[in-house]
Amino acid sequence: MIRSPKLPRLRSLLLILGVLAVIQLMLATYAFVQTTYDDQRGFAFPGPERVRALVAAIEGAPPALRRDILRTFEDGEVDAAILPGTRDLPQAGADAVMPGMEAVIGSYLASLGQREVIVWIAPDDPDALLVPRLGPGRLWSRHPLRMAVQLERGEWLLIETRGNLAEKVFGFPPGLWAGLFGVTLALLSLGILWRSLAPLGGLGAALDRFAADPVPQQVRARGPEETRRIIEAVNRMQEEISRFIAERQVMFGALSHDLRTGLTRLSLRIGSLPDEGLRDAAERDLARMNAIVEDALVFTRLDTRQGPVPGEVALAELVHELRSAYPAVPVHGADDPALGAPNIVLAGDGPELFRALQNLIENALTHAKDAEVLIACERGQCRIDVMDRGSGLAGQDRDELVKPFVRGKEAAARNRPGAGLGLAIVQRIAIRCGGTFAMLDRPGGGTIARLALPRR
């Protein structure tokens, strides 16, 4: 899968910013609820609720106490006065009236009876021309807000407050708006990041399918320009790799045909040699050449089929084939009634698994002159160990031994036959079956070649 080291860091940074913004919003909301919630009336905006309480107090108090009530209401930023009639109210321009605020305050005063409410914004200087006219900008106006409420006796209560409406009237703290802005920014950033990364998820799935079966998996190029360029480059790369694999298969097929034809002719000519010793030596060399060619072809076929093997094989059938091919090699555990071997089925292709075990047994017989097989099954898998009492793996890199064309130190030192593909073939067969392959030291000396295969 294509990965950029910057993308995880960017995603983590945006996630942290989003979490901080959400925490800020939660704290601001909590503070807002604490200042706007009353145990008796529940939620209420501070400004309208305060006006309702003032109107109720004035209308329920004797005239001599009204002035004292107004002084209690005033706090330096809010002034209040009682005027005799409409003609005494300051003039309100039509473009400065706020019907929305009138409806809000009127709804709070509805419990006291229907009455007229006028709300408008007035400039500090009567000659000033700056008066907010449109949209939510009025909420942030610093010009005086005037509210006139008709009292039950025909008088008017005039209230003037300074400061923006959001904070003074509705009680929204600045932190709440900052939190909303932060959350919006974080969500927008995450949306942009998702739009950039989403196509790469489909690209990763396509590459996984391509790894299992090297048929080009074209992905539609979408997203930002950089993402589209990556997808287009990967699509071209799949085409090139697929063409290379197909050409390599054709080449190996042609080489196989030509080599086998030549080796067959050579075999016929060797058979006519009069010297028996020379003929036997030539036939052994020819057999080695045939084995190397066969290993190379098998490895090539496995290397182009990376997906899991859909088939299955009975363990009893596999053991029978091993005993028939190698009657001198003991196979332990297969006849143990506790294993229930006749009922055990392994995931994998039968001929491929037999080829893997054949390679391991031949390897043990060649290098250690002895071999034995031990089978042990658990609930989910079976372990097939091919063991010998050879010189072991001391001082050798076991990961290197399963790489193609890599030979062990002893085999290379003694110039023993082989191309170094036997263990590489076993490794690929194990992977295709969903299992594992490992080379281990055998207690008491020697080597254990362990093939672990899943059960069906």
Total domains in the chain come to: 3
Distances (CA, A) of 416 to 20, 288, 410, 447: 68, 10, 8, 18
C-beta separation of 54 from 80 below 8 A? yes
Say which DSSP state 138 is in.
G
Give the domain-ending residue among 142, 170, 198: 170
Q: For position 428, what pLDDT does the model report?
A: 85
The four Cα atoms 385, 389, 393, 395 give a dihedral, to 10 degrees, of 160
> Does 319 fall in a domain?
yes
What is the Cα–Cα distance from 89 to 74, expressed in whole angstroms?
19
Q: Are residues 291 and 335 in the same domain?
A: no
> Does 23 fall in a domain?
no
> Does 85 fall in a domain?
yes
Closest CA to 230 of 206, 200, 191: 200
Q: For position 419, what pLDDT does the model report?
A: 62
Q: For position 130, what pLDDT does the model report?
A: 37
CATH of residue 410's domain is 3.30.565.10
> Does 83 fall in a domain?
yes
CATH of residue 294's domain is 1.10.287.130
What is the Cα–Cα distance from 442 to 430, expressed in whole angstroms?
21
Give the domain-ending residue among 273, 303, 333: 303
* Contact partners, residue 419, CB within 8 Å, separation at least 6: 292, 295, 296, 405
Report the Cα–Cα distance between both ends of the chain, in Å, rounded. 30
Q: Are residues 278 and 345 in the same domain?
A: no
Q: Are residues 101 and 153 in the same domain?
A: yes
Q: Are residues 155 and 55 in the same domain?
A: yes
> Does 193 fall in a domain?
no
Q: Are residues 291 and 386 in the same domain?
A: no
Q: Are residues 449 and 363 in the same domain?
A: yes
Q: Are residues 388 and 323 in the same domain?
A: yes
Q: For position 373, what pLDDT does the model report?
A: 92
Q: For position 60, what pLDDT does the model report?
A: 87
Q: Are residues 117 and 141 in the same domain?
A: yes
One pLDDT digit (tens) per residue for the chain, 456 residues: 444 444 555 556 666 766 776 776 676 666 656 555 555 554 445 577 778 888 889 888 888 888 888 888 777 677 888 898 888 888 776 667 778 778 888 888 888 888 898 888 776 544 433 334 434 444 445 567 788 899 988 899 888 876 555 455 555 555 556 666 767 777 777 777 777 777 777 787 888 777 767 788 888 888 777 778 888 888 899 888 888 877 877 777 777 777 778 878 888 788 777 888 887 888 777 777 777 777 766 766 666 555 555 578 888 888 889 899 999 999 888 666 555 556 788 888 888 888 889 889 988 888 888 899 999 888 788 899 999 988 877 767 677 777 776 766 665 545 555 567 778 888 888 888 888 899 888 888 888 999 999 888
Amino acid at 217: Q
Q: Are residues 80 and 158 in the same domain?
A: yes
Q: Are residues 317 and 288 in the same domain?
A: no
User: Which tokens is 262 given?
Assistant: 């030549």
C-beta separation of 454 from 347 below 8 A? yes
Amino acid at 255: L
Q: What is the layout of strands, in order, in the sheet containing 331-332?
A: 331-332, 372-377, 381-388, 447-454, 436-441
Give the domain-ending residue among 274, 303, 332: 303
CA 370 centroid distance within chain: 50
Q: For position 387, what pLDDT does the model report?
A: 93
> Does 39 fall in a domain?
no
Q: For position 136, what pLDDT does the model report?
A: 46
∠ at Cα 194 (192, 195), nearest 5°?
Answer: 65
> Does 415 fall in a domain?
yes
Which DSSP helix (H) or strand (E) runs through 440? Answer: strand 436-441
Burial of 348 (0-12, 13-18, 19+ CB in 10 A): buried
User: Which tokens is 254 given?
Assistant: 């042609």
Range of the domain at 253: 225-303
Q: Are residues 334 and 283 in the same domain?
A: no
> Does 2 fall in a domain?
no
In 234-328, beta strands by DSSP E: 312-314
Q: Are residues 297 and 317 in the same domain?
A: no
What is the Cα–Cα distance from 158 to 118, expressed in whole angstroms?
9
pTM above 0.95, yes or no: no
